[in-house]
Structure 1
C-alpha cells in the first residue's frame, strides 16, 4: 500500500499539490480553473513475489491466492478504479474512469498533504507571493521549496559535511546538483536527503523527506528492473545519495541502499577507476561501507579489487594519499571483520600492516601538524591539539589511526604466552586503541572546518569508546558527540548513552574484582 501525493495532474508535473480542508479541488487546479482529478489517497500495489533470507541466502517466494481465500465482506457496494494516466487527456474529454473518480471520492478533512511544521521550516527569504507548494508552471523548474532544499544540499551537506573531502574536483558540490536538474530520480534523492537534514536541524517532522524518498524509490525500482547493461552513473549516484539519507536516521537504518550500492559497484567495476564523477562516487561509497562495517560489526561486501586500478595510486596529491590509506583501511576492516570464527590470514595481515607503516613513513612533510599540543588530563583537556594544513590530510590521518586500531585488535597473541601474559597483552591493546581513538577525536576538534572528519571519529568512538578509562577522556567524548549532533544534525546522543552504560558497567566490574 502506498499513499498518493496530490491530484493526477500535479503528480505528472512534479508540482506540489495542496488540497484545502473540505475542498474538492487542489489550490493549483482551482487557480487555473481546470478539473482536478483527486485519486483515492491510498493505493494498494499488487505483490506477486517476495524475497526472504533462507539459510543466509536470498530466496524468492511466489505469492498466489488460495482457492479457499477468505474475503472481507463490505456493508455497501464499492467501486474499483484503475490507476491510469487520464490526466493527460484534455479536460473536455473525460473518460468513464474520470467520472467514477468524481462520483466515488471526496477528499477527507485531513487531505492537506503538507504538514504545518514542514511549511514552517521554510525560511522566509525563500518564499514569494505564491505558495511554494503550488509549484512552478514549468515542470523542469524547481519550486521555491525545492530550490531551497537544493541550495541546502550544496551549502550544508556537500560543502559542510564535505562529501568531496577527497575529491579535488568537488563533484558532489558541483556536478551532482547539475545532474539532478535533468534526472528526476537523482533530484528526488537529493531532495529527500536535504529535507531530512533540514527536519533534524529544525526539529520538525520527517514527513516531507519520506515523501521525496518514496517518489525516488518508485523511479529507482523502474531503473533497477532494466537490464544490467543499461545501468549508468546516475543510478549509482542516486543510490549513494540515498545511503546518505539512511545514515541520518539510526533507528530505521536497514542499510537497504548500502546493499544496493554494493551490488551496483560490484557490477559496475569500471566506476572505481573510471575517473570523474563515477570514481568520486565510488570512493565516497567506500567510506560509507567502512562506516557501516565499523558501526554494525559486519564485513565489507565490496569487491575491493575494483579500486586497485584507480589513479590515486599513481598520484601524489593530498586527496590521492588520503584515498590510499582509506583503501588500506577498507582491506584491513574486510580482513579483520569477517564472519565469527574466521581465521585471519597472517600473511595478508602482515602485508597490510607493512603497507600502513610504509604509508605513514612516506607521508609528506605538509601532513605534519603545524602545531601539536599533547593532552592535559589535569586541565580537563583529554585530546591533543593538532593543526593540519590540508582537509584531506585530516581525514587521511584519521583512517591511519583507524587502521592501526583494527591491526592492534586483530594481532594474534603467541601460543607460548601464559595466561597472565595474554591478559597483559589485552590490556596493552586496549590502551593502544584508546591512544589512537584520542588522536582521531583530537584531529576532528583541532580542525573544525573539516566536519567530514567528525563521522569516522564518531564511528570509532561508538565501536571502541569502551577503551577510554580516564574520566576526563570519557567526559570529553560525550562533549564531542553532543557537538557533532548540534553542528551536523547527525543524531549521536544514543551513542553517548550506550558509552555511559559501558563505562559504568566496567567500573562496577573493576570495583568488584578489587
Structure 2
C-alpha cells in the first residue's frame, strides 16, 4: 500500500540482530564504534498515530497517548544527586554497573543478603563519597585488567568503548573520595554515617590490591584508610559486634549430641591438626575451654532473635576483618582491628553457615596475633621464637574443635586429590557457597601459621632436619589445597587472593618443576582476570627457584 511504513531490516529480522548482539558480547576483539552502531541500530518508531508513537518525557508533565484521555506519570526522573564534576554520565553508569556485576561479590563473601551488591549502589545515589569509592574501584579494576584493554590501551567492556577511562581518571575519583572522607570524619554527626564506612571499606580494596607493591603501606597511604575505617567502626560498631543476619536454627546438622560426645571422648591424637597425605585425618581432642560441654549444647543455646544492629554496619565490619587478615598476613604484623568486638564469634554453638565462616576468619585473626603480637594488648613486637606455648596449644585445640563441630555443609560437594603424574597439580575442591570456601581457606591460612610457629619443632640437633622436611611437606600440601579451592571456585575471586597470599609466603618451598609451573600459571591468571598485581611475586619466585 502506498505510503505504508516499511520496517527497517533490523525490525524485519530480529533474530539476526539478536545473534549479532550475542556474537559481539562474546567476542574477544574490541568492538569499534562503527561495529557497535551496526549491531545496535537506532530504531525509529513508525510515523503516525498509535501505540508506536508513545514516548515518555523526563519533565514533570504527564504524558498522553495521541487522541486519548489516558495519562501516564513519567518513568524517568532526574538523578537525586547533582554532579558538578563534568564526567560523562554514561561512563559513571558503566562504572556502577561494573561494580555491581563484577566487584560487589568480593565484599559479600559471607553475606547472604548481599548488602554491597544491593544496598550500597542505592545508597551511593545520595552519597557522593560512596559513589566516588565505587567509581574508583571500578575504574582501577578496568584499567588494570588486560582482558578489558586493546593493544593501544583503550578500555572496553560489554560493547562499550571507553577511551576517556584511564589511570588519571581513576586517581581523580580516588582523590575526591579521600578528600570527602577526611573532611566528613571530623564531623561528630557524620562519623556515625554508615555510607561513609562503606566508602572507606570499598576504597581500601584498592590499597589491598597494592599491598605487596608498596613497602610503606602501614606508614603511608594505607594508614590513612586504617585511621578512617577505625574511626567509623569505633563510632558505629558496638563493643561486641552481633552476629550478621542471625536467624533461628532448627536443624543441628553435624551438631548432634552423639557427634560432639564422640569428639570429646576421642582422646589425644597426633600433634599436627592434619597430615599432608590425608585430608580430614585424625584430629587431636578438643579442649573443654574452647568446646562447650555436651550437656550445655541445648535448644536454649540456639540464637532465636535477629540482631537489631544496623545490618550494613555489620557487613562493613566483617569485610574490614577480612581485609585486615590479608594485610596482616602479607605484612607479617598483628591485626590492628580491635578483635574484642568479635567475642561472640569464638563460640561453637549452632548457627548459620555464613556465621561459621566468620568464626573461621576470626580464628585466623587470632592466630595472626599469636604469631605477630596483639595490638589489643599493645604487644606488637613479640619475637616469633618466644610465642606463648600455652596460647599456641589452645589455638591448635580450637582448630580441632572447629573441625569437629562445623556443619556438614562445609564438606566439599566434590573432592578429587591432585595427581602430579597426570598433570593435575591442584586438587578439585568444590563448595556450594562462597562462605564455605572462605571459611575453609582461612582455616588453611591459620594452619600455615600454626605450622611455621610450632614451638615444639626442634630448633637444633638430631631430628631438626627431619622435622623441617616434614614441616615443609605439610606447608606445600596446604598451599596446593588453597590453590585447588581457588581454581575450583573461580567465580569467587577472593579465593584466588587467598591462594596468592599462600604462594607469596611459601612458594619458595616448591622444588618440583611441574608444581612451579602450575603456581606461576595460577598467578598469571589471577593478574589477567582479576587485575591483582602478582607479577612481582612471580618474578621473585622464578629468581629464587633458579638458586635451588
Q: Same fold (TM over 0.5)?
A: yes
Q: Deviations over 1:454-502 (max 9, x none)?
A: 1111111111212223222111111111111122121212221111122
- Relative to structure 1, the CA distance from residue 439 to residue 196 in structure 2 (aligned partners, 3 Å threshold; closer, same or farther) is same
Which of the numbers 100, 105, 108 marks the counterpart of 1:164?
108
Task: Return the offset for 1:268.
Answer: 4.0
Contact 2:414 2:430 (8 Å CA) reproduced: yes
Name the structure 1 match of 2:182.
221
SS in 2 for 1:372: strand
Q: Distance in 2 between matches of 1:137 and 1:367?
A: 47
Contact 1:166 1:320 (8 Å CA) reproduced: yes
Are residue 175 (structure 1) and residue 119 (structure 2) matched? yes
Q: Distance in 2 between matches of 1:469 and 1:405?
A: 18
Task: Return the offset for 1:377.
Answer: 1.4
Name the structure 1 match of 2:513.
471
Are residue 369 (structure 1) and residue 330 (structure 2) matched? no
- Relative to structure 1, the CA distance from residue 296 to residue 126 in structure 2 (aligned partners, 3 Å threshold; closer, same or farther) is farther
Are residue 255 (structure 1) and residue 208 (structure 2) matched? no
Q: Distance in 1 between matches of 2:451 and 2:411?
A: 23
Name the structure 2 match of 1:19.
none
Q: Deviations over 1:125-170 (max 9, x none)?
A: 9999xxxxxxx975726711111111110011113xx321101110
RMSD of aligned residue pairs (Cα, Å): 3.0
Name the structure 2 match of 1:448.
490
Contact 2:417 2:426 (8 Å CA) reproduced: yes
Q: Structure 1: 5+ residue runs without aligned partners? A: 1-118, 129-135, 508-514
Task: Return the offset for 1:263.
Answer: 4.5
Are residue 140 (structure 1) and residue 81 (structure 2) matched? yes
Q: How does 1:66-81 map to 2 (within 5 A)?
A: none
Name the structure 1 match of 2:133.
189
Name the structure 2 match of 1:211.
172
Which of the numbers 291, 299, 302 marks the counterpart of 2:334?
299
Name the structure 1 match of 2:288.
none
Are residue 352 (structure 1) and residue 395 (structure 2) matched? yes
Are residue 335 (structure 1) and residue 370 (structure 2) matched? yes
- Relative to structure 1, the CA distance from residue 196 to residue 393 in structure 2 (aligned partners, 3 Å threshold; closer, same or farther) is same
Q: Distance in 2 between matches of 1:127 and 1:498?
A: 50
Name the structure 2 match of 1:234.
195
Q: Distance in 2 between matches of 1:312 and 1:224?
A: 34
SS in 1 for 2:351: coil
SS in 2 for 1:419: coil
SS in 1 for 2:462: helix
Q: Distance in 2 between matches of 1:126 and 1:222?
A: 44
Q: Distance in 2 between matches of 1:291 and 1:472?
A: 28
- Relative to structure 1, the CA distance from residue 127 to residue 179 in structure 2 (aligned partners, 3 Å threshold; closer, same or farther) is farther
Contact 2:410 2:431 (8 Å CA) reproduced: yes
Task: Return the offset for 1:321.
Answer: 1.2
Contact 1:312 1:320 (8 Å CA) reproduced: no
Name the structure 1 match of 2:359.
324
- Relative to structure 1, the CA distance from residue 267 to residue 275 in structure 2 (aligned partners, 3 Å threshold; closer, same or farther) is closer
Contact 1:127 1:144 (8 Å CA) reproduced: no
SS in 1 for 2:415: strand
Which of the numbers 415, 434, 445 marks the counterpart of 1:391?
434
Task: Return the offset for 1:447.
Answer: 2.0
Contact 2:417 2:428 (8 Å CA) reproduced: yes
Task: Return the offset for 1:418.
Answer: 5.1
- Relative to structure 1, the CA distance from residue 427 to residue 228 in structure 2 (aligned partners, 3 Å threshold; closer, same or farther) is farther
Higher RCO (C-alpha 8 Å, min separation 6): 2
How many positions carry a matched residue from both structures?
A: 378
SS in 1 for 2:478: helix
Contact 1:150 1:191 (8 Å CA) reproduced: yes
Q: Structure 2: 5+ residue runs without aligned partners? A: 1-31, 43-76, 84-88, 154-165, 243-308, 374-380
Q: Distance in 1 between matches of 2:117 and 2:526?
A: 21
Contact 1:185 1:219 (8 Å CA) reproduced: yes
Task: Return the offset for 1:368.
Answer: 2.0
Contact 2:129 2:180 (8 Å CA) reproduced: yes
